[in-house]
Chain A
Amino acid sequence: MGAPLLEVRRLVKHFARKQGLFRAPSVVKAVDSVTFAIDEGEMFGLVGESGSGKSTTGRCILRLIEPTSGEVCFRGENVLQFSAERMRMARRDMQIVFQDPYSSLNPRMRVGDIVEEPLVIHRLGTKPERRARVAELFELVGLEPGHVLRYPHEFSGGQRQRIGIARALALNPALVIADEAVSALDVSIQAQVVKLLLDLKERLTLTYLFIAHDLRLVEHICTRVAVMYMGKIVELGETRALFASPTHPYTKALLSAIPVLDPDAPRQRIELDPTSFEREAPLREIGAQHWAAV
């Protein structure tokens, strides 16, 4: 395999908190020197709890949030140096599916127009060609092409998420960032949408950055996984190795907290002791394709 499709190097995003009446100005290090690479065709999981910086990382890659520093190389080119116009072009290849199928679709637009909009923005095709493409996309994600004139509220949560996926796929991207894309769905609907994502990956040779807090799901579908904690990646490795032998204290605590389906499984909950690790420790290789900040 050649160079990775996406390479994120020392990505940093600091949010400044302005000085308040009783508060000194401060800086929140939401993403604090994050480095990882995703190969073509990979399903790469980025996991962490709320506030860990995983979603900010995803948005910085697409420059939906402007990172403070670092590099985001897509097919070898650092997109952080692109002009606004060039970045718009680059986004044809990098798309995102958001978590909330209720707030991420414009309620006043017909769903066919929602899916068509990326094609309009990028001035692709004639009106009939775009309409044909929308019908094709509807079919691809398992929606009834006859429903293009409906509004989002006429669809269930799972169907809305399919509309969001169709919109992301409209421009034939190479990389799809799925930001908690199935988290808001019921478990049986979630299984169907996950199956669709995996299906599309094969059919369209997609690469995914799968951002999630559900470790059971990530273990099930991702080839490699990175664990984020307080803005840093604390452990990264092949999914099987990482789940079999978690090394960083945070990963251990996180994995031990997952409720298991077996009522008789021994429960050994590991509490995180923040003094048990060095926050600034760099990632080092602890096994084959397995890194931890210990």
Chain B
Amino acid sequence: MLLKLSLSGIRSRFKDYLVLFSGLIMSSAIFYMFESIAVNKEFVTSTSVGSIARYVFMLGAILLGIITLVYVSYANTFLLTMRKHDYGLFMMLGARPRKIGLLIGLETIMIGMISTVIGIVLGAGITQLISGFMFDTLALPKNNFSAIYGPAILYTLIFFAVLFVLSGFLNNHTFTKSSALDLLKSEQNTDWKQPSKLSLTIQGILGLILLGVGYSVMFRINDLQMVGIGIALVTIVLGTYFLFRSLFVALLDSIQHTAMAQKGLGSFTISQLKFRINDFTKILTVVSLLFALALGAITVGVGFKNLIPQMATANDYYTLAITNPTAKEKQLVNKLDGKTVRTYDIRSGQTGNYLNAAQFEEHPFYYPKRVKDTNKGIQVKVNDKKQSYSYKIRKASITDMNKRGSEANQRLASLFDAKDQAKQMKIVSSSTFAQLGGEKKQIMMVRVKDMAANNTVLNKINTIQQKAAGKMGVVGGAYTMYVLMNGIFGSFEFMGIFLGIAFLAMLASCLMFKILSGTSVDAKRYAMLNKIGTRRSVMKGSIRTQIFGLFALPAILGLIDVVFGLQMFVSAQLLTDPYPVFYVSALVFVILYLVYYAVTVAIYNNFVVPKTKIEK
């Protein structure tokens, strides 16, 4: 009987539940996708890049888990407000509170599990679709990866089961505590009070100060380090909260008394929005911060990815070096675009490798030299003193290269085959070189301007070299670094994008649920407006404005958060110029967000705007 009741409850409200489902499905789908990468043993152990990517995706799954918790609790509140009246009725009819509690728990878990299962199927589908693209970008082998992976399914199921059982208990608890009458009449209570001017002013100023502190801390993250992140988190959260409580209400207050607001539904719209912001302070704060996090995740993720070529070449001037290139390798090198090729002869003896000075004079060797740099550069602690360095490309002198342990010497040596790296390296005059015995070798150094564009050919050469070097061998050159970083930052990028989209989907759904959970109260207001002669178009216009306000305010604050938050990465030298990426991702984000806005408006209209009856 209980099962039948809860099933019919869901069925009768299926349209409303659909919104809830879509959000939950989205979150479980993305969670599954992360898990399928993070826990896939064969894939993770097959390459070094895979094992790094694994941690990145695990981190993503944890973050997503936390945010899902928040989302589920909001979704549940929405669910309960929809069913409150039913539950109250059951209790009036004499159902025991324990039974109702059970019913609520059952419903919550049922909805959770149905959406998780659909989410996993969808997640597997998406994983299949994008894995090809992703693995190409990360330059990973695809054969070890499958989109449908048992343990990942299991973990996703377990995670969401725990989540829903928890929230089922929570719902159960809130309900068994309230009386039948409270439930039946819960919608009639409004505790709206016009806030006093003084408290508005104090809160507004406090909010601005807190936000200001938070933002400036992010600018000075280098001095404050971890403490700074802590301070920024607390001040920005509180500042956002106070701002929503006060400044926006005060602003609306002042607009309300202008002549413009007296036209049409102006004053009604503004007062509704004021009332809403008061009621929505917490969720607007959460939405604003989530928006910032989501956008930040995408921007930083993509920003890191764009840094890869720059960071890879910071370590090595040459993209790759081939000792004794074969015909096949030479052929491949020929295919590279925008390349510079240098070939040096080597006489390799038992104790040392000798090179010809004349060849260096003709074609100098370049390397990135560490130089002091007070403005920019990487900060390094030397003897407890902070010093800034950056790398500048320099021409190596022969004296420098012959100095054992010098940067130039080490850079050149690192490009040799693994077994030659330990040997002493010396550059000798061409007359001496001509008289030297030992094995005759050649080293070919290749530099390409754009590694990403030449990736396919570079990858082929690299594969040949890796094979030749064997398991223990390290292949020198910027390209090795490029591949490695691609693994880390490439997965950062994907995580950033998926996490961003997941965050966005959830925050927008949170907001949507919160707005929609007020429809039963609002419907009465619009019924009244209809009776006193408000056109439907005017009512719809008012609704559009109200919901736009609720969507736009946290988004604007979130955007500002990101603009300042990125500064943290810039100060910490993690990103150089993240803003171009930010503009693009912000645009994409805003478009997606607007879609949510449009959906919310459509559903809301459907609930509250009275239909004009013309049936005859």
Partners in one complex: no
Partner-B contacts on A (CB < 8 A): none
Partner-A contacts on B (CB < 8 A): none
